[in-house]
Chains A and B, each alone.
Chain A
Amino acid sequence: MDDVAMIRARELTKHYGKTRAVDGLSFDVLPGRVTGFLGPNGAGKSTTMRMIIGLDRPTSGSITVDERPYGAIRRPLHEVGAVLETRAVHGGRNAYNHLLCLAQSNGIGRRRVAEVLELVGLESVAKRRAGGFSLGMSQRLGLAAALLGDPPVLLCDEPVNGLDPEGIVWIRTLLRSLAAEGRTVFVSSHLMSEMAQTADHVIVVGKGRLIADESVEAIVSRSSLNSVRVRTPAHRRLAELVTTAGGSVRPEHDTLYITGMGAAQIGDLAAHHSIALHELSPQTASLEAAFMELTADSLDFQAELAS
Chain B
Amino acid sequence: MTTVLDNAVGTTPAPATTVGFGNVLRSEWTKLRSVRSTYWTALAAALSTLAIGIIVCAQWVHEIDRHREQKDTLDAALTSLNGLYLAQVAVGALGVLVISSEYGTGMIRATLAAVPQRRTLLAAKLVVFSACTFILGEIISFVTFGICQAILHRGASGVSITDGAALRAVFGGGLYVTAIGLLGFGLGALIRHTAGALSALFGLLFATTALADLLPTSWRNTVIEYMPLNAGSQIITTQPSHDSLSPWQGIGVLFLYGIVALAGALALISRRDA
Contacts and interface: CB of A to CB of B under 8 A. Distances in A.
B242 interface: no
Interface residues of A, number: 55
B107 A90 contact: yes
B106 A105 contact: no
Nearest to B22: A107
Contacts, number: 141
B68 interface: no
Among A87, A116, A177, the one with the most B-chain Cβ atoms within 10 Å of its Cβ is A177
Nearest to B104: A90
Interface stretch (A2-10, A92-100, A207-215): A92-100
Contacts of A105: 19, 23-24, 26-27, 111, 114-115
Interface string B100-125: 01100111111111111100000000
A90 B105 contact: yes
A22 to B, nearest CB: 13
B111 A73 contact: no
B5 interface: yes
A74 B19 contact: yes
Interface stretch (A49-57, A238-246, A282-290): A49-57
Contacts of B115: 76, 105-106
Given A87-B106, A90-B102, A75 B9 contact: no
A20 interface: no
A227 B224 CA distance: 83
Contact of B9 (A78, A93, A101, A147): A147
A106 B111 CA distance: 11
A178 B9 CA distance: 8
Contacts of B273: 50, 55-57
A94 B33 CA distance: 12
Nearest to B14: A78
B15 A108 contact: yes
Interface residues of B, number: 44
A89 B27 contact: no
A107 B19 contact: yes
A89 B106 contact: yes
A102 B116 CA distance: 12
B12 interface: yes
Contacts of B101: 90
B5 to A, nearest CB: 5
Given A55-B109, A92-B37, A101 B15 contact: no
Nearest to B108: A88
Contact of A89 (B1, B12, B107): B107
Contact of B27 (A70, A74, A102): A102
B8 A118 contact: yes
A90 B110 CA distance: 10
Contacts of A70: 116
B35 A90 contact: yes
Given A57-B271, A74-B18, A91 B109 contact: no
Contacts of B14: 75, 78, 149-150
A102 B8 contact: no
A86 B83 CA distance: 42
A119 B37 CA distance: 30
Interface of A: 50, 53-57, 70-71, 73-78, 80, 82, 84, 86-94, 97-98, 100-109, 112, 115-116, 118-119, 142, 145, 147, 149-150, 170, 173-174, 177-178, 181, 183
Interface of B: 1-2, 4-6, 8-10, 12, 14-15, 17-20, 23-24, 26-28, 30-31, 34-37, 101-102, 105-117, 271, 273-274
19 contacts: A53-B112, A76-B116, A80-B113, A88-B109, A90-B107, A93-B31, A93-B35, A97-B34, A101-B27, A103-B27, A104-B23, A107-B15, A108-B15, A109-B15, A115-B12, A145-B110, A170-B1, A173-B2, A177-B9
